Amino acid sequence: MTRRPVPVTVVIVTHNSERHIEAVVSRLIEDPEGPSQVIVVDNASDDRTREIVAGFAVDLVESPDNLGFPAGCNLGATKADQAALVFLNPDTEPHPGWLVPLLAALEEPGVGAAQPTLDLVDQPGHFFTSHSELTYLGFAWSTDAGKPIPPTHRGGDVAFPSGAALAIKRETFEALEGFRPGYFLYLEDVDLGWRLRLRGLRAVQVPESRVSHDYDFERHARKMYYLERNRLRMVFANYRPSTLVLLSPALLAVELGIVAAAIKNHWFGDKVQGWKDLWRLRHEVAAEARQTRAQRLISDGEMIRTMGAEFRGITQISLPPFMGIVDRGMAWYQKVVVWVLGLGRNRG
C-alpha cells in the first residue's frame, strides 16, 4: 500500500512507557496516512522505552531529567519540521485515517486547536472524553467520560482540547509560547485552551477522527496536589488582578469546601503543599500573568460568560449532597461578576 504522509509532526512524551510505546509508534508508521515526522521525547526513563524507540525510524530526543509532560511537549515542538503539531500520549491507539480530519479542522475559521473523538481501549465505543467543561473557578472535567458514543455524535466546540491527542498549528502554539512547563502534570491542556479562547480562538472535537486511550482512572499518587496547585496557578495567571478581587469571595468559599474534602479524604497534606509551592513560585506565576495579558484579545467578562459554574460533574473530589444549592449560588455569583465587569468596561 502506497504511503501518503500527512504534513504534520506528532510529538509523544514518554516516561517509563515501555508497555505502550512500541504499539503507538508502529501504528503511526504503518498508517498509510500517517505523519510526516514522529518525535519521541523521553523524560529520563529507566526502563526499555529508549531502546524500543531507537528501533524505529523516528526522532528520539533524550532528556537526562524528567521535565514533565508540558515541558517535554515544548521540547519536541522545537524539533518539529512541519507546520502542524499533534501531541499524542504514549498510551493511545490512533485509528487509521485519524490525522486528515484533524488537520482539516485546523483550517476552519476561528479554530485554534482540535482533538479527535477519544474512546477507551478497554471500553471501545465509550467516551474517554469528547465534550469538556471549565468553570470560572478553574475546575475542569469531561462531561461524557464512560458514556456510549451515539451514532449521531457530531463533535463541536469544547472548552479545552484534551492533551491526550491535541492538534494545533505550530505558529499558534509558538504564539502562545507553548504549554506552561511549570505545571509538570495535569491541567496544562486546560490552561492552553483557556489562553486560546482569550485570543478569540476555539477548540473543537472532530468526530471523523478516532483515537483510543488506555487510560488508568486510578488516582496518581499526587494527583490532587497537581490538580489543586495547577488550578489555582491557572486562575491567578489567566485573570486580571481586578477580576481576582471580584472573584475572591467565591474562591475563598470554594477553598474552605476543598479543605473539608481534603481532610475527609486524606489529602490535606497535598493541599497545603500546593499552597506552599504557589507562594514559592509566585514570581513565576506573575510572569505567566504578564504573558497572558500581553497575548489576550478577549476580556475576562466575555470569557467568564461562556464558562460553567456547576460542580456536580467533578469526580476527583468527593462532593457533599447539598451541591445543588452551592451550584445555584455559584451561578448567581457568576452573573454578578459578569455584570460588574461589563459595567466597568462600559464606563472605561
* Rg (the chain; Cα; Å): 20
187 to 16, 70, 202, 209: CA distances (angstroms)? 21, 10, 17, 23
Question: 167 pairs with which residues across the strands?
Answer: 86, 114
Instruction: Measure the CA–CA gap between 30 and 327, rounded to whole angstroms.
Output: 48
Position 319 scores a pLDDT of 58
Question: 62 pairs with which residues across the strands?
Answer: 42
Asked whether residue 265 is assigned to any structural domain, the reply reads: yes
Q: Is the pLDDT of residue 204 over 70?
A: yes
Instruction: Measure the CA–CA gap between 24 and 6, rounded to whole angstroms.
Output: 17
Asked whether residue 330 is assigned to any structural domain, the reply reads: yes
Instruction: Verify that 200 and 238 share a domain, yes or no.
Output: no
Which structural domain, as residue segments, surrounds residue 256? 223-347
Tally of domains within the chain: 2
149 to 91, 115, 127, 160, 184: CA distances (angstroms)? 20, 15, 6, 19, 31
Q: Where among 187, 213, 239 does a domain terminate?
A: 213
Q: What is the pLDDT of residues 21-40, one digit of tens each?
A: 999 999 999 999 999 999 99
Which candidate, 247, 218, 256, 266, places its Cα nearest to that of 309?
Answer: 247
Position 217 scores a pLDDT of 58
Instruction: Verify that 244 and 268 share a domain, yes or no.
Output: yes
Taking phi over 0 as left and psi of -120 to 50 as alpha, with beta for the rest, 246 belongs to alpha
Q: Is the pLDDT of residue 1 over 60?
A: no
Q: Where among 213, 233, 266 does a domain terminate?
A: 213
Instruction: Verify that 58 and 200 share a domain, yes or no.
Output: yes
Instruction: Verify that 40 and 139 share a domain, yes or no.
Output: yes
- pTM of the entire predicted model: 0.93
For the chain, the straight-line distance linking the first and the last C-alpha, in angstroms and rounded, comes to 63
Instruction: Verify that 93 and 159 share a domain, yes or no.
Output: yes
**DSSP per residue over 106-140, as a string?**
HTSTTEEEEEEEEEETTEEEEEEESSEEEBTTS-E
Position 322 scores a pLDDT of 55
Asked whether residue 1 is assigned to any structural domain, the reply reads: no
Confidence of residue 329 (pLDDT cuts 50, 70, 90): confident
Contact criterion met (CB below 8 Å) for 294 and 246:
no
Asked whether residue 280 is assigned to any structural domain, the reply reads: yes
Q: What is the pLDDT of residues 53-64, one digit of tens each?
A: 999 999 999 999
Contact criterion met (CB below 8 Å) for 174 and 82:
no
Instruction: Verify that 107 and 149 share a domain, yes or no.
Output: yes
Position 327 scores a pLDDT of 78
Position 22 scores a pLDDT of 97
Instruction: Verify that 182 and 99 share a domain, yes or no.
Output: yes
pLDDT, averaged across the chain: 90
Q: At what angle do helices 69-78 and 188-198 cross, to 10 degrees?
A: 60
Number of H helices, E strands in the chain: 12, 12
Instruction: Verify that 270 and 322 share a domain, yes or no.
Output: yes
Over range 132-142, report the average pLDDT.
90
Question: 224 pairs with which residues across the strands?
Answer: none
Q: Where among 154, 183, 213 does a domain terminate?
A: 213
Q: What is the pLDDT of residues 214-252, one digit of tens each?
A: 876 555 668 899 999 999 999 999 999 999 999 999 999
Instruction: Measure the CA–CA gap between 72 and 41, rounded to whole angstroms.
Output: 6
Instruction: Verify that 113 and 209 share a domain, yes or no.
Output: yes
Position 321 scores a pLDDT of 58
CATH number for position 44: 3.90.550.10
Q: What is the pLDDT of residues 284-324, one digit of tens each?
A: 999 999 999 999 999 999 999 999 987 765 655 555 555 56
- β-pairing verdict for 202-213 and 92-94: antiparallel
Confidence of residue 348 (pLDDT cuts 50, 70, 90): very low
CA angle 343, 297, 72 (to 5 degrees): 130
Position 345 scores a pLDDT of 62
* Ramachandran angles phi, psi of 93, nearest 5°: -130, 95
Q: Is the pLDDT of residue 14 over 60?
A: yes
Instruction: Verify that 26 and 174 share a domain, yes or no.
Output: yes
Overall size of the chain counted in residues: 348
